[in-house]
A and B are shown apart, each in its own frame.
Chain A
């Protein structure tokens, strides 16, 4: 199973793979600009950068999913062209994808075998899966359907799939985004073994500082498609990395959410927590505005929301924490009037929602910043102005026809108020940057004075500046008396903003913490409740 060939001493000098001057453009956008990168055997190489810095594109070039416009790839001393994932696999490059490459309807062993070219032999394949699993301490039942597995176990399958092909180079793209802290720790332990014992080269792509500092030997930082800094991990500090990554000095506290380094700012946090505790006491006296009571939604025989109860008071931010895929999306859909409840109720200021009717939640004064703004937040082909009035076209209409003058006036007003940078109200929405698109959605939802604001992953995919703006707006919305429900998988974002935190797992609330008692450790432990469960299922599998 080892990385054969050269000994460790010799390979310490020769890189396993080298990228030279790799450039990739998408229209006017340069995703990668002349990137040089060398991965050494026996090392974990962290590739750090904000969302959109070009990390994922670079890795896709390496795995053959994207063809570079310029530059070359050198593997074991000779230039190679990687046309497609098959070529990459043949060259010994394997990747654990951010959104895993597994097929839910197939079993574990079938998934591991997928994409191979060897003879199709069921029993040999199952045996190999078990051998690989045992070798790396990644226990798994080869006959389970992948769709029935937890996120952590799925990633384990993905890792086995990769390692079984004995790759010289292993790429992990944001591997912890769907994992609990406990599962992440286990992943990094496995990685250490893989690297130290077998001299593989590992690229760990992440936007989380803490993770990069913890798990890598060497760091390359990317910003706007370029490499801006290279260093050895032992010489790096969180603040130096953060500054390089963002391109300016950052206040670690206010940007902690984006960078994943809450534990580095404990002193400031303690002070903030004391202030928060006092504020929380005041909030507790206010009336409950949003009352979700034993909401239950069953989809394909699975309870995606399982007697979920959450209350939000006026002027309060309630953070919903949890590992991705535990019902957060369905909660957002429910409050966007997209889902019909099987039982339970949603009540806003004493008025019960008739779930399932289009617009029923908006009628009650619930504004939603959806998880995926392109999918459900706006229409890319319409103009900024049209998007801004999309849900209240009646307010700018006369005799059933849209009054374009009033629409533009309303748009200009909102664009000023929310500082939306666009060529004008008639600019196509798709021409705006991610941060400005998100502001349009925010402006529309806040524009008609909601009583409840639901923000689902509001900062995903945004740069640090846009994240700061969004955080400020959410805080201001709460201060003005709006009940805010913040759904996020970023623990730091939750800790940063919430007055109260509920933890969701498998469609249920499994724990609740006040701001004063919430630390990332305690939250991590609560999320680890999922971890316990997951350990049990491992026991079953064994």
Chain B
């Protein structure tokens, strides 16, 4: 299976040699990767605590739409991003309390939320005007002149750079705080955590809040730093939340691996966008399905072999045992 994946990757890259030297390709891949990384960092925290949080998609959609509306109303980017964070947290509150307080199946809650928030955003869009806009890129002097990758790494709109504090923050939370220790314990062995005196479901709810905040921010960055079409469209998030989950699985539940997964998927999203621009004729539907096809392969290969949190996706109810 790994071999199959390798072949797909290699052929995709080598068949189009000039893609590798295209600055636009790297620029685009980096933007996709960063947007994915916000959601994936949040998802990673939630999964380390034992929730396979598929409503990460809804959290991104909520963040994206709310940010766009707030930007349309106030025209202040930081404020719009903050509103996006809040929207993500609101979705997270619903997911967290339904799945880890009322003990409703987390997948049922997640699927329902994904569809509900998608529809809600479309419905509200007819009332409140949402405005997306790419903030003018901040070019770091000298560095952004590095050939090929300079523009991608050092010439992004400023909201993109929020990923720089967010990723270390996620790592620090999980590995350097008592809260993080408890998060990891409830994700791996909730019974042991419980008898050790840890509020298992409270910690899991909190981890979902963190996921909501990060994914909401990711949604905001998406509409204010990447999407250049005016107006909000339902396809903006377009299952990027689900791809973020695939990135966590690809990364074997390590943060570093998760980020590598984001880069991988970002590359395929960019490929789909860049190939036509470079003059390659490729079936648009096929190109659009590429990232999801790779995600399917990745989850099939990695989901079973890596060390996942042992209690992932298992609800915790204090029993008689």
Contacts and interface: CB of A to CB of B under 8 A. Distances in A.
Interface stretch (A96-104, A218-226, A442-450): A96-104
Contacts of A113: 178, 181
A105 B183 CA distance: 12
Contacts of B320: 26
Contacts of B196: 85, 101, 114-115, 161
Nearest to B198: A115
B197 A102 contact: no
Contact of A120 (B181, B185, B310): B181
B184 A97 contact: no
B198 A106 contact: no
Given A26-B320, A120-B177, A106 B195 contact: no
B314 interface: no
A85 B194 contact: yes
A185 to B, nearest CB: 26
A114 B193 contact: yes
A104 B178 contact: no
Contact of B192 (A26, A95, A101): A101
Contact of B185 (A26, A65, A103, A161): A103
Nearest to A85: B197
A89 interface: yes
Interface string A74-96: 00000000001110110000010
A225 B290 CA distance: 63
B182 A105 contact: no
A116 interface: yes
Given A26-B320, A114-B198, A115-B198, A100 B184 contact: no
B192 A105 contact: no
Contact of B309 (A26, A105, A110): A105
B43 interface: no
B57 interface: no
B195 A97 contact: yes
Contacts, number: 66
Given A102-B192, A106-B185, A120 B178 contact: yes
A110 B182 CA distance: 9
B47 interface: no
B188 interface: yes
A106 B188 CA distance: 9
B189 interface: yes
A410 to B, nearest CB: 34
Nearest to B196: A115
Interface of A is mostly: loop
Nearest to B253: A105
A103 B177 contact: no
A471 to B, nearest CB: 27
Contacts of B191: 99, 101
A114 B189 CA distance: 12
Contacts of A300: 307
Interface in B145-199: 176-178, 181-182, 184-185, 188-189, 191-198
Contacts of A114: 181-182, 185, 192-193, 196, 198
Contacts of B177: 120
A531 to B, nearest CB: 25
Interface residues of A, number: 28
A103 B197 contact: no
Interface string A99-140: 111111110001001111001101000000000000000000
Interface string A327-359: 000000000000000000000000000000000
Contact of B181 (A88, A106, A119): A106
A103 B195 contact: no
Contact of A100 (B192, B193, B197): B192
Given A97-B195, A114-B193, A114-B198, A104 B188 contact: yes
A85 B197 CA distance: 5
Interface residues of B, number: 22
A257 B270 CA distance: 68
Which of A65, A89, A97, A115 gathers the greatest number of chain B CB atoms within 10 Å?
A115
Nearest to B320: A26
Contacts of A101: 191-192, 195-196
A103 B178 contact: no
Contact of A84 (B188, B197, B307): B197
Contacts of A86: 197
Interface string A403-431: 00000000000000000000000000000
Contacts of B181: 106, 110, 113-114, 120
Contacts of B198: 114-115
Contact of B184 (A89, A106, A120): A106
Interface string A59-83: 0000101000000000000000000
A225 to B, nearest CB: 15
A118 to B, nearest CB: 8
A105 B188 contact: yes
B221 to A, nearest CB: 31
Interface in A142-165: 161
B176 to A, nearest CB: 8
Contact of A85 (B184, B185, B195): B195
Contacts of A99: 191
Nearest to B187: A105
Which of B176, B195, B309 gathers the greatest number of chain A CB atoms within 10 Å?
B195
Which of A85, A100, A105 gathers the greatest number of chain B CB atoms within 10 Å?
A105
B189 A104 contact: yes
Interface string B17-44: 0000000000000000000000000000
Nearest to B48: A105
A122 B176 CA distance: 8
Nearest to A88: B197
A429 B60 CA distance: 48
Contacts of B307: 105, 300
Nearest to B179: A120
Nearest to A66: B320
Contacts of A84: 197
Nearest to B180: A120
Interface in B47-104: none
A488 to B, nearest CB: 21
B194 A103 contact: no
A103 B182 CA distance: 10
Contacts of A161: 196
A442 B177 CA distance: 51
A161 B185 CA distance: 15
A103 B193 contact: yes
Which of A101, A114, A120, A300 gathers the greatest number of chain B CB atoms within 10 Å?
A114
B48 to A, nearest CB: 10
B192 A103 contact: yes
A473 B210 CA distance: 58
B194 A104 contact: no
Contacts of A122: 176
A84 B194 CA distance: 9
Given A85-B194, A85-B196, A105 B184 contact: yes
A477 B185 CA distance: 46
Nearest to B190: A103
A89 B309 CA distance: 27
Given A89-B197, A95-B195, A97-B195, 17 more contacts: A100-B192, A101-B196, A102-B192, A103-B188, A103-B189, A103-B193, A104-B188, A104-B189, A105-B189, A105-B309, A106-B188, A113-B178, A113-B181, A114-B192, A114-B196, A119-B178, A161-B196
26 contacts: A26-B320, A65-B194, A85-B195, A85-B196, A99-B191, A101-B195, A101-B196, A102-B192, A103-B185, A103-B192, A103-B193, A105-B184, A106-B185, A110-B181, A110-B184, A113-B178, A114-B181, A114-B182, A114-B185, A114-B193, A115-B196, A116-B178, A119-B178, A120-B181, A122-B176, A161-B196
Q: 4 shortest A-B CB distances, which residue pairs? A: A115-B196, A120-B178, A115-B197, A85-B197
